[in-house]
Amino acid sequence: MITMLFSAIDFLPLTLPVLAYICVILLLAIFLLILRINLKLSSFPNKDSQPAATDASSTRSDESTCKVEDSPQSPFEEFLNEDPNRRLLGKKEQSTAYRNWRSQKGLNWK
């Protein structure tokens, strides 16, 4: 029993440096993880770097009008624009009429 007590006392002085070493390693690992996360977050675009809200809304509206003018109409929009009554149809009727319209125009794969 007494020998166990002496072996535990001999072991006690070594535990403090080992625990301190483990704590330093853990703190270093946490610091490296935080640094890595910050680097990843900094690669995302910053919301503060965008222009003011009024400038952003005008820029968006300008871009959207350019896209509408430059981009051709989709075939479905063309189909709806040919006859305004088609917009009043239900979804099933619209899809059936659209399929028929595509086959008449030769737009279907065969």
Give the tens place of pLDDT for each residue, 42-52: 888 766 655 55
What are the residue boundaries of the structural domains of the chain, listed by start? 74-110
Question: Would you state the structure tokens that stand for residue 18, as one six-digit string?
Answer: 């080992």
What pTM was estimated for this model as a whole?
0.35
Model confidence at 97: pLDDT above 90: yes
